[in-house]
Structure 1
Amino acid sequence: MKRFGTVLLLLFITLLNTQNSFAQRRTKPPVKDTVTGEVFIRIVDQSLSLYYDDFAKGMNYDSIVDALDYEAGTIPSFTDEDYCKRLAKLNEVSTFGFDCNNVSLSTIKFFAQNRRNFARVVLGRGRLYFDLYEEKLAEYGLPLELKYLSVIESGLRPQVKSRAGALGLWQFMYATGKQYGLKENSYMDERMDPVKSTDAACRYLKKLYNIYGDWNLALAAYNAGPGNVNKAIRRSGGKRTYWEVRPYLPRETQGYVPNFIAATYLLTYHAEHNLLPAEPKIHFYQLDTLCLNRGIHMQTIEKLVSWSVEDIQSLNPVYKTSYIPPTFPKQCVTGPLQKIGLLVSLEDSLYVLEQRIYGSGGYTPLPTDVAIDPQNDQLVVSNPINSKIDVPKTKVITTINYTYHKVKTGESLGSIAAQYNVSIQELMDWNDLTTARITVNQLLKIQTKVSTTVENEAYLEAVEDSIQNSNPVKVVPPVQTPVVAKKYYSIRSGDTFSRIASKHGLTMNQLSRLNPGISPSRIRVGQRLRVK
């Protein structure tokens, strides 16, 4: 009987708490829409209008969405407690202050209800940019959540330009960009260069945080400028946190940090909200870079390797026109592994074709033996004037492809190596294995090379013929693949992934492909990296 009384008492307390909870919810103030920035709304609309041009229509549910068993088009709803718990989890792994208050909650709800298509678009675009962002943020010791700031700034579109003149993924004004080393001339604007602008944004954000010691205030300064934030601090009576200073900030900046919190929340918990990332045409890890010795028109690249000018420009937004100028240091072109690999094999042919098409009577912005030094915008002679390009009679074109082998019961590294006619050491290098031990269902990367020998003059003539008559260019069957000697480097104190790549004349993508499975942000002293 005593136990029964205890149960009744517990039930009464539970019902009382439930009633109090309902009463609290009924007295909450109505949700207000804090997303009022015209610039951000315009970015959303522009991004959506270009969505179907940028991304493939096919989409796949990820594992969380599958587990939740949502129906297509369902918009889940959650309690304030659910949102606050998730923000608390973000706070556990971040130095940001993802505060759960009426402003942040109302903005999150607005995003979850009205910014769903935009979230899908930027989740897809993020697969092209977020790996780059995280690598740079880790290099400067900054919170990885800052990658979502570019979502608010530009919708992950490098060509976005504001009415005030801010440009690029990180929306640099001309003066600020110049202060952080972003150059501009008639042919290029480095505010639109994903790598250089991200590096500049990291340095700028780090400086702002060092000034204010509060990430939310640093973001407010990124949006409104340190001068406006300093004025707001003075008007607030010397307060030093964003939420205390917020009423004294410009109206757009008052919504800026809540927008960032909402974007970070929704892109982190997109699966719980039944949001599917749109699949981009290409991912960051599928890119490579070739740095050019001479000025090149993108039309020449298109004719040589069947890579459209439109696609070249989309992956190389730093160039204002379809011309890649000669500079010192060299200008580079970024593209899919296959296209860049082919360009590397045909680099001498590329320059010959450029000279044949544009060298006489065509549009040549600068002599091919002169480059622009971006440090002082002066001309630098890189080759003797009127020097001729020596073109070998034949050229071996090597393309590298990757396949994957799923380990079956009874297989060993030796038997798999024999099956693909490669060495055990090659398998270990390609898969970053320190021992020959493998497990069932493990995926092993297998590298294959296909080489073709081309008669350079005949190939160029075929290209010229294709220009005039739209005939396809053909090459002869494969020949034996050349052997490349491997070289390794032991990481020392102070080394970073980007410095090691630069030291050995590689891009970070090339160094990553030589070292599959190694995270650029988690290298350690004494670790060996393959550099050739």
Structure 2
Amino acid sequence: MLSNFTIFNSHKYNLNRSLTGIIIFFVAILIAQENVQSEENIQDSLKVGASRTIPGIPPVNGYPNGNGNKFVETGNRLPQLLRDVKVYLSDAVIADVHKDTLEVIYNLDRIFNLLTEADQLGEMTAEDQEEFNRYEVSLIDVYTHRLTTLQASDIAITAEQLRSEISEITEPLEVEMGLSKFTIIDDRDGHIPLIRNKKVDQFIKFFQTKGKKQFKIWLSRYGEYEVLIKTILKEHELPEELMFLAMIESGFNSKAYSRANASGMWQFIYSTGKIYGLERTWYVDERRDPVKATHAACTYLKDLYKEFDNWYLALSAYNAGSGRIHRAIRLHQTSDFWQLHSLPKETRNYLPYFLAAAIIGSSPKEYGFTIPKVSSFSYDEVKLEKSADLAVLARSAGIKMRSLQRYNPELRQSATPNKNGYVLKLPKGTKSKFTAKFNALPESQRFAPQYTVHRVRRNESLWTISRKYGVSIHDLASVNKIRNRHKIKIGQKLTIPVPGSKAALASAQSTGPSGHLKKVYTVKRGDTLGHIAQNYNTRARNIRRWNGLRYGGVIYPGQKLVLWVKQG
């Protein structure tokens, strides 16, 4: 079995037998007995002019062009999306074995960017939905339990996992408020009533025991975002307890993702986010913007409260949808949340879960917790008129790239948007330094166009166009909002995100490892990333990271690549 995995050959990585279990697990769980392509094969697939295939995964339907050639293309983008995700996860697992945390995080970010696009691909077939669900379960298990280099604070789906876990272990209690004992903790006007009963106490106990480690992480983020969120809640005249809704939804993690394809601190699905003004484009996903998403959540919650005139029902509708709550009210002939026993288990647990988090968060010392002192999320804003490279922006502000991305988690690419400008967030107090340093740069260095425009010609398909520019079909379809790849027309203008050109070269990693010199390499005919990496004593995955290349594209003659070569 292991003969298929030349990526783990001992002559290349000198891995010991203890890794065998990881490999077998990865194959069984992740791909469900599908073979994973070796790194040598992956490098060959990146050969100039080569198409991308993965052994063990059947090719998608061929698409004939006017010359009778068969191209790897289909009207359904989901299979390609899942294949891209599988390859990224493969790379993440390999990086995890080598304790390369930054590479793991980079690949996981790419995975969750792709998964959040699933609900924009149109209605799934039953087969597609089954495959998507099966894969998500496998992904979450690998992501939350098998990647050893990640800290718990980096896990973007822990909040959802914790809700699911606590739902399984809590006892099934039916609480009737008219008959059961309950304690009022806080019932002030303008606040959400906080009460304790047996169900709420179960959740409090969970947070004090098995869930304590994760709750501590949430409290540390609570300290970071408290001022920001409470200020926005006050602006919308909403109860401050709603801050704890973001806690149970995401753990205050702007990059959180759920199996329902919800994203961001407030866990908006694409359609609801769009209704409340959150855009998702090639460059940004505003569901991840802590400021815009909090304003959107406030508007949504006000609408729900107006609809139900009851915060317990409004919060339940935030989880299950208004329609389901209305049906339960009609069925039971009551608007008392605790009497709506026909609601799904997750929704019946959702309110007690929220109340437990709010009660502990409001008086942490009373329940054995402390809120650590952390820097508040405060920022300066700078308006950028054109697309700018993140590495240049970070260097101008005197901060690390990761810090810039933490302040602007909605950014999906290595550059800011190219239309209508962009308001960049910087750590408080860095605006003056940034402005002086950034404005002193020549315009050619300050701004880095990340796209070109292509007019579709006769006999062209997305596949041929993607090969011409060295981008993936999926990215090409995504940036142009194309759901069916067959439906492109002669004369149609397509926006092409261009890697490896002057634009991508400008946005390549600007600082390399210590003791390395920067070299710009021009790709020659017949080159592969593997060959280039071997010649310069590095790895293909490093070249991809340095140049923002995805693990499924192609390189082509004349393309410029940034390499970091050891001195001497």
SS state at 2:367 partner: coil
Task: Tell me how far 1:230 sits from its aligned partner.
Answer: 1.2
The alignment partner of 1:319 has SS state of coil
The corresponding residue for 1:194 is 290
Moved >4 Å (runs of 4+): 41-46, 51-54, 84-87, 466-471
SS of 2:426's equivalent in the other structure is strand
Q: Quote the Cα distance in structure 2 between the aligned partners of 1:95 and 1:276.
A: 23
Q: What does residue 284 of structure 1 align with?
A: 377
CA distance in 2, matches of 1:263, 1:164: 22
User: Is contact 1:94–1:145 with CA below 8 Å preserved after alignment?
Assistant: no
In structure 2, the partner of 1:180 is 276
Aligned equivalent of 1:241: 336
Secondary structure at 1:296 match in 2:
coil
Pair 1:342 & 2:428 matched? no
- 2:244 equivalent among 138, 148, 159: 148
CA RMSD of aligned residues (A): 3.5
Note if 1:306 corresponds to 2:385: no
Give the match's secondary structure for 2:259.
coil
- Report what 1:259 is aligned to: 353
* 1:123 pairs with 2:224: no
SS of residue matched to 1:334: strand
Inter-partner Cα distance in structure 2 for 1:131 and 1:149: 15
**Deviation of the 1:327 alpha carbon:** 3.3
1:234-269 residue CA offsets vs partner (Å, 9 max, x unmatched): 221x21121122x11111111100000000011112
1:296 pairs with 2:382: no
Q: Is the 8 A contact 2:316 2:347 kept in 1?
A: yes
Determine helix, strand or coil for the equivalent of 1:99: strand
Rounded Cα–Cα distance in structure 2 between residues aligned with 1:258 and 1:240: 16
Q: TM-score under structure 2 normalisation?
A: 0.48
User: Residues 44 and 148 from structure 1, CA distance in 2 versus in 1: closer, same or farther, beyond 3 angstroms?
Assistant: farther
For structure 2, the residue ranges without an aligned partner over 5 or more in a row are 1-136, 156-179, 454-479, 482-492, 494-509, 516-568
Q: Name the CA distance, whole Å, in 1 between partners of 2:242 and 2:219.
A: 15
Aligned length, in residue pairs: 298
| SS state at 2:195 partner | coil
Distance 2:154 2:263 in 1: 21
The residue type paired with residue 376 of structure 2 is H
Conserved? CA contact 2:398–2:434, under 8 Å: no
- SS of corresponding position for 2:194: coil
Determine the C-alpha separation between the residues in 2 that align with 1:93 and 1:193: 31
Paired residue secondary structure (1:324): coil
Contact preservation (8 Å) 1:112, 1:266 = no
Query: Residues 100-499 of structure 1: matches in 2 within 5 Å?
Result: 100-236=196-332, 238-245=333-340, 247-280=341-374, 282-285=375-378, 287-328=379-420, 330-350=421-441, 352=442, 355-356=444-445, 364-365=450-451
CA 1:220–1:49: 2 relative to 1, 3 Å? farther
1:119 CA displacement: 2.3
CA distance in 1: counterparts of 2:435 and 2:183, whole angstroms: 47
Deviations, residues 204-254 of structure 1 (Å, cap 9, x unaligned)? 000001111110100000000011111111221x21121122x11111111
The residue type paired with residue 284 of structure 1 is F
CA radius of gyration, larger in = 1
Write the distance in 2 (CA, Å) between the matches of 1:294 and 1:223. 39
1:433 is aligned to none
1:92 and 2:188 are equivalent in the alignment: yes
CA displacement at 1:302 relative to structure 2: 3.0
Partner of 2:463: none
Task: Give the aligned partner of residue 516 of structure 1.
Answer: none
Give the 3 Å change call, closer, same or farther, for CA 217–103 of structure 1 in structure 2: same
Rounded Cα–Cα distance in structure 2 between residues aligned with 1:357 and 1:470: 25
Output the CA distance in 2 between the equivalents of 1:248 and 1:95: 27
Q: In structure 2, the residue corresponding to 1:346 is in which secondary structure?
A: helix
Find the aligned partners of 2:382 and 2:402 in 1 and give their Cα distance: 18
The residue correspondences of 1:508-527 to structure 2 (distance < 5 A) are none
Q: Which residue does 1:68 correspond to in 2? A: none
Residues 227 and 376 in structure 2, CA contact (< 8 A), matched pair in contact too: no
The amino acid across from 1:203 in the alignment is T
Give the CA deviation at 1:133.
1.2
Paired amino acid for 1:50: Q
Contact kept? 1:220, 1:229, Cα under 8 Å: yes
Q: Structure 2: how far apart are the matches of 1:271 and 1:468?
A: 45
The 1-side partners of 2:513 and 2:268 are apart by: 45
Alpha carbons 1:44, 1:155 under 8 Å: kept: no
Contact persistence 1:44–1:118 (CA under 8 A): no
Instruction: Return the alpha-carbon distance in structure 1 between the equivalents of residues 152 and 398 of structure 2.
Output: 24
Asked if the contact 2:153–2:217 (Cα under 8 Å) also holds between the matched residues in 1, the reply is: no
Matched-pair contact (CA < 8 Å) for 2:386–2:447: no
Q: Deviations over 1:392-431 (max 9, x none)?
A: xxxxxxxxxxxxxxxxxxxxxxxxxxxxxxxxxxxxxxxx
For 2:151, the aligned partner's letter is L
Contact 2:284 2:411 in 1 (8 A): yes
Q: How many angstroms apart in 2 are the aligned matches of 1:468 and 1:279?
A: 33
SS class of match (2:406): helix
Q: What aligned pairs does 1:6-21 form with structure 2 within 5 A after superposition? A: none
| CA distance in 1 between partners of 2:432 and 2:182 (Å) | 44
Gaps of 5+ in 1: 1-37, 55-83, 368-375, 380-465, 472-532
Distance in 2 between residues matched to 1:167 and 1:275, nearest whole Å: 28
Structure 2: distance between partners of 1:272 and 1:141: 28
Quote the Cα distance in structure 1 between the aligned partners of 2:447 and 2:385: 16
Residues 119 and 267 in structure 1, CA contact (< 8 A), matched pair in contact too: no
Is contact 1:103–1:258 with CA below 8 Å preserved after alignment? yes
Amino acid at match of 1:298: L
What is the CA deviation profile of residues 313-367 of structure 1, one whole-angstrom value per residue up to 9, with x for unaligned ones? 1111010122111332x312212123333112234235x26x23875xxx63369
Q: Does the CA-based 8 Å contact 2:181-2:197 persist in structure 1?
A: no
Does the 8 Å contact 1:358/1:364 carry over to 2? no
CA spacing shift, 1:224–1:320, aligned 2, 3 Å: same
Contact 1:291 1:331 in 2 (8 A): yes
Deviation at 1:87, TM superposition (A): 5.9
| Residues 313 and 322, structure 1, Cα contact 8 Å, conserved in 2 | no
Cα displacement (A) at 1:88: 2.8
Q: Distance in 1 between matches of 2:144 and 2:196?
A: 25
User: Which AA in structure 2 matches 1:242?
Assistant: F
| Distance in structure 2 (CA, Å) of the matches to 1:321 and 1:126 | 27
Distance apart, 1:125 and its partner CA: 0.8
